[in-house]
Structure 1
Amino acid sequence: MTIYALSTGANKSGIAIIRISGHNTKNVVAKIASVKNPKPRISTLCELRDPDDNKIIDKGLMIWFPGPNSFTGEDLAEFHVHGSKAVVNALLFTLSKFENCRLAEPGEFTKLAYENDKINLLDVEALSDLISAETEIQRQQALKILNGDAATKYTNIRNKLLKILSNIEAKIDFPDEDLPEDILKNIKLETQEIIKLIQDILNDGRIGEKIRDGFKISILGPTNAGKSSLINYLSKREVAIVSDVEGTTRDLIEVNLNLDGYPVIITDTAGLRNTSDEIESKGVELALQSGKNADLKIILLDVKNPYFSTFLDDINDENSILVLNKSDLIDGVINLENLKLKKYILVSLKEKLNLDNLINEIKKRLKDKFLINDNVLISRERHRLNLEKCIYHLNVFLENNSISEFDKAAEDLRIATRYLGKVVGDVDVEEVLGKIFSDFCIGK
């Protein structure tokens, strides 16, 4: 089967790129572009015609990538044409008329590359993340994984496991032969070393997932403190209703932002207070849960009435920024000694006073949280779960390893090796592949 798709955006543009891949690609190129023996990886200016009536569709470039030295591992060609909808639709319709030639499914070009061993599963996910990247730090992380360093480290650890497994299986295959004492002694030491290597990868503060999914910031505080005004200010648009009526916000309102290059999910929450209203009470419960799950909490208080002891003691911690709003309504010196507040930021959302200090503090916290280092190798929950299961079976192996129960020991090592292999691409569950490739756009 030969597949084709528009690989650039669907909107009007100066240039559109249409890809085609499969065993019939060369025949399609010969009939549409009248190029029978295209030169590999060289742009060829040509007229693209409908072979049924020989009418010209457009004049553009054709680039030929013969398999297996192509992205998909198959014969692949690209048509670079003018980006109007009329030109694109005409060329796609012409391609559809070829036998055994169909529109590609989302991510199918990349899936072919994976199936033909051109890239591993980490590359697939990094490529998806790179296409979806909206901030600089997301781009950097996707490229870091795409460069292959992560896959190399996982593969090296897996090779260490395979070496241990081969020694165990040698004893199973040749029970009458005694393994050298130093090998038996080193099996346990090497296993402990591998557990430490994987544990070091897991002890990353989940920074990779936070970079990919967004850093969670929750705005908490009593009713009418200005929480909705703050999220509207940070979002630079009206995303929440601002009203003097207490309890207006009852559900969670989430906004995805690019804050100075950092991916952020900011959540506006219901005002925290004791209430007999069932719906508002549920909103308060959701607000507290949002604060519990947040990476950073902005606790917003009304400077005229900052005595918020009911909830403040529970939610104010090292991951909080305490903000006192409505400073424009206060004359003279503010006496907050009774609050025992060691550090806070005084602002006025109405008059836009001192908000730069708040934003700078948020950026500082983000910078501290988002420090990237070479040890950050996990960008998805799938990676973490497989590594945790690998460690579990390695620990079972160590606990039950009397060196006499070789069959059982070998099975624990085999399972651990399989889980480690799944991170890079030794995947036998079709649902996992389906989920990954469904995130791609058609044409990639």
Structure 2
Amino acid sequence: MDTIFALASAPGKAGLGVIRVSGPRADDACDALAGGRPEYRRASLRRLRDAEGGVLDEALVLRFDAGKSFTGEEVVEFHLHGSVAIIQAVLRRLGALDGFRMAEPGEFTRRALENGRMDLTQVEALADLIDSETESQRRQALDLLSGALSARVGRWRDATLRAVSLLEATIDFADEDVPVDVSPEVRALLTEVVEGIEAELSGLDAAERVRTGFQVAIIGPPNAGKSTLLNYLAGREAAITSEIAGTTRDVIEVRMDLGGLAVTLLDTAGLRETDDAVERIGVQRGRERAEAADLRVHLVTEDITPGVVPGPDDLVFRAKIDLVGGEGVSGTTGQGVPALVDAVKARLMDKAVQAGLASRERHRLALTAGASHLHAAIGLLDSGADLYELTSEEVRLALRRLEALLGHIDVEQILGEIFSSFCVGK
């Protein structure tokens, strides 16, 4: 296996640059550049040298032994001054060593997965943590990275493994000291897992929205102040505003942090019937995006009824109260905007609290397939021991889906559970 290396910190000039090395010859990097190998997990200040002995930089060197590093392999980190020239010089020096090569994108994390340091849900969580923009995204990613979903799936996996072990023992070892009728315990185990999976699936949409961001559409008739409100909320001129109806022709998006939640505000074209072909397309797009949004904020005026009937969870505000007075909102003066923001946050928080741990379409597919197989297995239990082989196969398929969710499948563990649970290994 090659020893890989790469810049682990952000590229460009900085106060500090970290180069990570991982693989069977990682310690050779210490010998070649630092003149020796520091103690494991103890930062050592060393002068790094090129092949001719010239000084490249003075850096902190850290060594991690196999099984106790991020990748599970021997790892060395060089903490350098963040000069572009220094970083490039050290990378060239490493690239000249025999058996070393530049890491491919994500290869350190892939090795962590292959070496059992992380499962697939944690790999996804690491990517989410790096991409997180808001507090809710950070917390969600950390929960997954800590293994919260892995532990939950692990409990379902253990219960499913126990169920298939009982069925297999009844099928293959009928003459041994095993229960004659295992169906009650199997049913209880599978029912518990199915209920857990379905509860997780019920919170997946909300979790996915926390991860990717909620969408809030601002809709209403032309000249209701939608673009002005968007600009006020964004704190910049994100949308063109004018007194001419139909100025907004396409959906304008502004992403922002709203109470710790990632929110994309959508400014849609004014909803009206029009003979202008381009504006008509904009109105249709606005309707479609509004219908797909997580929340709609309707701006209404005194003389024009809403172009879309508000739903039960939608928010409705009178527009341009700086001109007409009363309660409502004005994007020009900011009147009523704090109340609007609070109302939007409250609606979205209600959705966010329903979030589970699973947050991706891959999770949904694996869990849905697993639950489907378990439902089939529970149904087959009613037919008795004659169909235990079919029942066992359905449970095995469910087990595979759970294993696939974590990114590892090991059918030999089924035999291990059988022989550890029953006295059949003679």
TM-score (norm 2): 0.90
The reply to whether residue 6 of structure 1 matches residue 7 of structure 2 is yes
Equivalent runs, 1:131-280 vs 2, <5 Å: 131-174=130-173, 180=179, 182-204=181-203, 206-280=205-279
Amino acid at match of 1:327: I
Stretch deviating more after TM superposition (247-256 or 275-284): 275-284
In the alignment, the residues of structure 1 paired with residue 188 and residue 399 of structure 2 have an alpha-carbon distance, to the nearest angstrom, of 17
CA RMSD of aligned residues (A): 2.1
Q: How does 1:97-116 map to 2 (within 5 A)?
A: 97-116=96-115
1:360 to 324, 342, 352: 342
For residue 407 of structure 2, the aligned residue among 425, 433, 437 is 425
Q: Count residues in correspondence.
A: 407
Distance 1:276 1:395, change over 3 A: farther
Contact preservation (8 Å) 1:254, 1:268:
yes
Q: Any conservation in 2 of the 1:295–1:319 contact (CA below 8 Å)?
A: no
Structure-1 residue corresponding to 2:116:
117
Structure 1: how far apart are the matches of 2:389 and 2:48?
64
Which residue type is aligned with residue 305 of structure 1? D
Equivalent residues in 2 for 1:14-413, closer than 5 Å: 14-35=15-36, 37-51=37-51, 53-174=52-173, 180=179, 182-204=181-203, 206-301=205-300, 303-308=301-306, 311-313=307-309, 316-330=310-324, 346-371=328-353, 376-401=356-381, 402-403=383-384, 404-413=386-395
Please report how far the alpha carbon of residue 179 of structure 1 lies from its aligned counterpart in structure 2 after TM superposition: 6.5
Q: Secondary structure at the match of 1:361?
A: helix
Shift of 1:177: 7.4
Counterpart among 412, 416, 419 of residue 398 in structure 2: 416
Amino acid at match of 2:359: S
Out of 408-417 and 394-403, give the one that drifted further. Answer: 394-403
Q: 2:48–2:56: 8 Å Cα contact kept in structure 1?
A: yes
Superposed displacement of residue 176, structure 1:
6.9
Q: Which moved more, 1:181-190 or 1:25-34?
A: 181-190
| Displacement of 1:298 | 0.8
C-alpha contact (below 8 Å) 2:229/2:332 kept by paired residues: no
CA contact (8 A) 1:220 1:297 kept: yes
1:304 Cα shift?
4.1
1:117 Cα offset (Å): 0.6
Moved over 3 A (4+): 174-182, 276-279
Shift of 1:175: 6.0
**Secondary structure at the counterpart of residue 59 of structure 1:** strand
Identity %: 39
Corresponding residue SS for 2:182 = helix
SS in 1 for 2:41: coil
| Greater relative contact order, per chain length (Cα 8 Å cut-off, separation 6+) | 1
Instruction: Give the whole-Å Cα distance in 2 for the aligned partners of 1:126 and 1:360.
Output: 29
How big is each residue's C-alpha offset from its partner over 1:385-443, in whole Å with a ceiling of 9 and x where there is no partner?
21111111112222344132223222211111111122222269xxxxxxxxxxxxxxx
Q: CA deviation at 1:160?
A: 0.7
CA distance 1:205–1:46, shift in 2 (3 Å): closer
Q: Please tell me the residue identity of whatever aligns with 2:318.
A: L
Could you tell me how far apart the structure 1 residues matched to 2:88 and 2:312 are? Answer: 56
Q: Any idea what the Cα deviations from partners look like across 1:92-149, whole Å, max 9, x if unmatched?
A: 1221111221211221111111100111112111111111111111111111122223
Structure 1 residue 356: Cα displacement: 1.7
Where structure 1 has 5 or more consecutive residues not aligned to the other structure, the ranges are: 335-344, 429-444
Contact 1:251-1:286 at 8 Å conserved across structures: yes
- The alpha carbon displacement at 1:174 in A equals 4.0
CA distance in 1, matches of 2:173, 2:276: 74
C-alpha distance in 2 between matches for 1:295 and 1:289 = 12
Q: Is the 8 A contact 2:204 2:357 kept in 1?
A: no
Quote how far apart the aligned CAs of 1:231 are.
1.8
Deviation at 1:352, TM superposition (A): 2.5
Q: Distance in 2 between matches of 1:205 and 1:44?
A: 46
Deviations 1:277-325 (A, max 9, x none): 4433332222222222221111122x343423xx332xx1232111222
The C-alpha deviation readout for 1:235-275, integer Å capped at 9, x for no partner, is: 22222222322222222222221123211121121221123
Does the aligned pair in 2 maintain the 1:48–1:56 contact within 8 Å? yes
1:431 corresponding residue in structure 2: none
Tell me which amino acid in the other structure corresponds to 2:200.
I
| Secondary structure, counterpart of 1:68 in structure 2 | coil
Instruction: Decide whether aligned partners of structure 1 residues 205 and 150 sit closer, same or farther in structure 2, where only a CA change above 3 A counts.
Output: closer
Amino acid at match of 2:379: E
